[in-house]
Amino acid sequence: MISHELLKWFHLMGIVLSLGGAILFAFGVFPALQLIEDKSQRMRILAGVIKYFHPLFLLGICTTFMTGAMRLTDLKIGFGSAYYASLGKILMIKFGLTTLIFLIGAGQCFGMGLKLTRMSNGVIEGTMERQEKLAGLIRKMTIYNVVLISVTIYFGLKLIPMIYGG
C-alpha cells in the first residue's frame, strides 16, 4: 500500500503535469507557433508537440484521479457513516468537474489531436483549413480544461479543512 505522504506527492505531481502542461500548451506553444509562417510546417510541429503533450496530459489527469480515489477510500473508512454528510456535496461537484475534464480531454486527445496528427503527416487527407480549425478547437478545449482543473483544485482545497480540521 502506498503511504499517505507518497500518495499526496503523486497527486500533486499529477496536478502539476496536467494543469502546468495545459497552461504551457495553450499559452506557450500556440502563440509560439504563430511565428512560423509556413502553415504546413506549423501543423507538422504542432503534431509533433501533440504526440508528447497529449500522453503526458492524460497521465497527469489519470494520476490525479487515481490518487484522489485512493485517498477517498481511506477517508470513507476514517469518517464512517459521516463521510457523505461531511464531504458529499463537494465531492459530487469535484466528480462532475472531473467527468467534464475527462470528456473534454478524450475529445481533444483521442479525437481531434489524433486526426490533426494524421492529417499533418499525410496519413489521412485533410485540407490546411481543416487542420487549422482542428488546431483552434484543440487550443480551446485545452483552455476549457485549464479552467475546469483550476476550479476542481479550488474545491479540493475546500476539502482540506474538512478532512484535517482547522
Q: Looking at residue 152, what is its pLDDT?
A: 96
Quote the CA–CA distance of 106 and 89 in Å, as a whole number.
26
Q: Looking at residue 1, what is its pLDDT?
A: 60
Q: Looking at residue 160, what is its pLDDT?
A: 86
| Residue 4 CB neighbour total at 10 angstroms | 11
Q: Looking at residue 94, what is its pLDDT?
A: 94
Question: Per 3-state DSSP, what percentage of the chain is helix, strand, and coil (rounded to 5)?
Answer: 90, 0, 10
Q: Looking at residue 166, what is its pLDDT?
A: 60
Measured in residues, the chain has a length of 166
Stretches in the chain below the pLDDT threshold 50: none
Quote the CA–CA distance of 162 and 166 in Å, as a whole number.
8
For residue 15, the surrounding DSSP H or E stretch is helix 4-15
DSSP assignment of 112-154: IIHHHHHHHTTSS---HHHHHHHHHHHHHHHHHHHHHHHHHHH
Domain boundaries, the chain: 4-164
Q: Looking at residue 83, what is its pLDDT?
A: 82
